[in-house]
Structure 1
């Protein structure tokens, strides 16, 4: 049915690749490309070692280089490109898709490499170009963003006449038994959580100091966890698409030990994203040195545990959902829709931990919606712009079942 090229070979890409191979009736031809081809080849080997039979092609590509991307796309001729590379590379990949007539899907919005700031405006600006080319671009099809928007769309379609208050809550109650590690790319993760918080209320965006607003929230099968208000990209599209929303916020849990280490990283200057000069010894053993430029956060990424290696000893589970208050048939109603995912279940199936799993599965599901013709229309779209029902049905069958609670205390 579909010829797909996936860019990326990290934890999320590993999960997406396993899921693509499990659904070969939909994904009939599959290529994995990354900056290091050997990572793609290792991923293919991991899939084959699990007993899956699939002809998976691999390739090397620099996703910062539009010409390299165009050469690869013109050679393989994918109908859909799944971008699971870095957010810095979204626009170059979209440019290459336009040049080569490929449709596009990603899991995180664009952000400039030299500025810790993200928003949808850069990618929404491509809407007319994709419409004129007759191509579909699906933005932010992971869990949050992604499933969180599908949950909201499902609530609006089935349970509310008007949504007034929306809180997206994201809890990782797992333990990887490391002193400090991030669950996805450390560079992207630390850039995100050290930004100022941002939420929407009464038609205005309100900024807070990083992680300054927090409160205990109770998560299913987990219990109370300290949850911190953060800026998250899906709020931007949700308040645009659901104008009855009076307030929209995003919350994520962090443990005290994690935040202590994060404070130290910032105090020591290791979260900086600008270049600094460093006197480094030459590799020839001569004892001579040379001045080199490094970005502290990129250096930190190199010495921190690789998120792909956390799964084996990761226990506990995640819980991500939407807590919604609004009006149905003239009466106020509360609604909570969520998924819990156990890290060990994710590891046993794909070799990755639950955070990668909850992002990789929706990426595959969104691609499936595209190939089945259910999420296919020219332009640039967010997940809530499409019918949520078939997407959520696929998630139920592919390892991310969802649950609903009506009339409960949302705590917010």
Structure 2
């Protein structure tokens, strides 16, 4: 297996640190628009199987050219979701298989954005699933932690814990703090704005529909000392993936953001600072008055600290998991939370990467190892739910990061 990793940011660098300890691949070319970022990620692992390259992730032809010249069998997308389609298309054109951790972007319904879906997450990719399948090629989409591990949990629950499922409810929470910062997101603010301010999607009774952002608040008690966190609906891929392969009456995604974070996001939206449309900003740089087109969301991202650099200032744990309710194999009501917790102190000491990006990065490495040894195989555009969950969960545990299971009161 020869891997082209597109993106050498926090998640991409953590991917390298995790993969460097495994022997299932022949080579990994780490590529980024900023060559120095790719070179830094390669230098950190100090492994001759890794090399650095420059790529323009917004250009399918740039991805295709690099995939061809590097002889990549698999293209791993580790950049934010606005670049999904060019990387996806470039991998196909180069004859390589493809993996990502977030899917093609949505577009709200033009008239009823908070009740009807428009273009849904992943629609552009699923529209060409037949082409990938006919070519015998695999696009494994949504294989981060959420989506990704949460979807593996859904497959495991359906196969081994429940005879029928009422709800697949992804619940994400943390008790992380960052020294010296009142507001410092632990993940890409660009992606966070995208998923939190778009209309959340819910699956219920055989259809997808949307709601208002931050709807249906609930307090969920997270395990391993994290405790109660208020969670709200946000847009996320699990809701678009799980019902395609698993029978469930309802699918939701709720994120433990906290009131302060929600208010910041609402303010950004109110001021138009969440927009990706460029605005013209007067500038006198260089002496002569001019106008510079800038994206407000890119400005927000540039003003905040890089999440990948916050690891030594972070404290606490992050939890990704799936709350499943329905009827157990014994015919009785059941409520089970399947989860994965990572302690920042552990991930920093063991790998030198903060817990949120490490938890995201470990899952595609596990998936690639299963593909390399033939345990997982398939063709088309497939989510993690399409594969056997047990080998994945066993290998994740073997990587030194076990998952957990907690029974809740089904009443």
Q: Deviations over 1:282-327 (max 9, x none)?
A: 2x3x3x2101211111111111111111111100001221111222
Q: State the number of aligned residues.
A: 400
> Per the alignment, do residues 356 and 117 of structure 1 end up closer, same or farther by CA in structure 2, a change over 3 Å counting?
farther
Asked whether the equivalents of residues 196 and 207 of structure 1 are also in contact (C-alpha less than 8 Å), the reply is yes
C-alpha distance in 2, partners of 1:117/1:13?
A: 28
Q: Deviations over 1:106-160 (max 9, x none)?
A: 1100116999975121111221221222211100001110000100101111111
Matches within 5 A, 1:137-152: 137-152=139-154
Asked whether the equivalents of residues 337 and 404 of structure 1 are also in contact (C-alpha less than 8 Å), the reply is yes
Taking structure 1 as the reference length, what is the TM-score of the superposition?
0.92
Which residue of the other structure, out of 51, 57, 60, is the alignment partner of 1:57?
51
| Cα shift at 1:409 | 2.0
Asked whether the equivalents of residues 316 and 343 of structure 2 are also in contact (C-alpha less than 8 Å), the reply is yes
> Per the alignment, do residues 227 and 17 of structure 1 end up closer, same or farther by CA in structure 2, a change over 3 Å counting?
same
Asked whether the equivalents of residues 136 and 378 of structure 1 are also in contact (C-alpha less than 8 Å), the reply is yes
- Structure 2 partner of 1:46: 44
Taking structure 2 as the reference length, what is the TM-score of the superposition?
0.92
Asked whether the equivalents of residues 34 and 60 of structure 1 are also in contact (C-alpha less than 8 Å), the reply is yes
Give 3-state SS (helix, strand or coil) of 1:322's partner: strand
Residue 205 (1) aligns with residue 199 (2): no
Greater alpha carbon shift after TM alignment, 180-189 vs 133-142: 180-189
| Cα shift at 1:386 | 0.5
C-alpha distance in 1, partners of 2:130/2:261?
A: 43
Which residue of the other structure, out of 229, 236, 251, is the alignment partner of 1:225?
229
C-alpha distance in 2, partners of 1:165/1:100?
A: 39
**Structure 1 gaps, min length 5:** none
Q: Deviations over 1:374-410 (max 9, x none)?
A: 222221110000111111111112243111123x226
**Structure 2 gaps, min length 5:** 110-117
> Per the alignment, do residues 197 and 100 of structure 1 end up closer, same or farther by CA in structure 2, a change over 3 Å counting?
closer
C-alpha distance in 2, partners of 1:294/1:113?
A: 21
Give 3-state SS (helix, strand or coil) of 2:274's partner: coil
Residue 102 (1) aligns with residue 84 (2): no
C-alpha distance in 2, partners of 1:317/1:252?
A: 15
- Structure 1 partner of 2:299: 299
Greater alpha carbon shift after TM alignment, 222-231 vs 203-212: 203-212
> Per the alignment, do residues 133 and 205 of structure 1 end up closer, same or farther by CA in structure 2, a change over 3 Å counting?
closer
Asked whether the equivalents of residues 198 and 208 of structure 1 are also in contact (C-alpha less than 8 Å), the reply is yes
C-alpha distance in 2, partners of 1:75/1:168?
A: 40
Which residue of the other structure, out of 163, 186, 198, is the alignment partner of 1:195?
198
Asked whether the equivalents of residues 231 and 258 of structure 2 are also in contact (C-alpha less than 8 Å), the reply is no
C-alpha RMSD of the superposition = 2.0
Asked whether the equivalents of residues 4 and 82 of structure 1 are also in contact (C-alpha less than 8 Å), the reply is yes
Greater alpha carbon shift after TM alignment, 188-197 vs 148-157: 188-197
Asked whether the equivalents of residues 358 and 400 of structure 1 are also in contact (C-alpha less than 8 Å), the reply is no
> Per the alignment, do residues 334 and 314 of structure 1 end up closer, same or farther by CA in structure 2, a change over 3 Å counting?
same
C-alpha distance in 2, partners of 1:19/1:114?
A: 36
Asked whether the equivalents of residues 114 and 274 of structure 1 are also in contact (C-alpha less than 8 Å), the reply is no
Q: Deviations over 1:170-199 (max 9, x none)?
A: 002111232212222211211211122222
- Structure 2 partner of 1:249: 252
Matches within 5 A, 1:14-93: 14-23=13-22, 25-48=23-46, 53-93=47-87
Q: Which runs of 4+ in 1 moved over 3 A?
A: 112-118
Greater alpha carbon shift after TM alignment, 344-353 vs 334-343: 344-353
Which residue of the other structure, out of 268, 272, 276, is the alignment partner of 1:269?
272
C-alpha distance in 1, partners of 2:93/2:201?
A: 35
Residue 281 (1) aligns with residue 322 (2): no
Give 3-state SS (helix, strand or coil) of 1:134's partner: coil
- Structure 1 partner of 2:395: 394
| Cα shift at 1:226 | 1.1
Asked whether the equivalents of residues 64 and 94 of structure 2 are also in contact (C-alpha less than 8 Å), the reply is yes
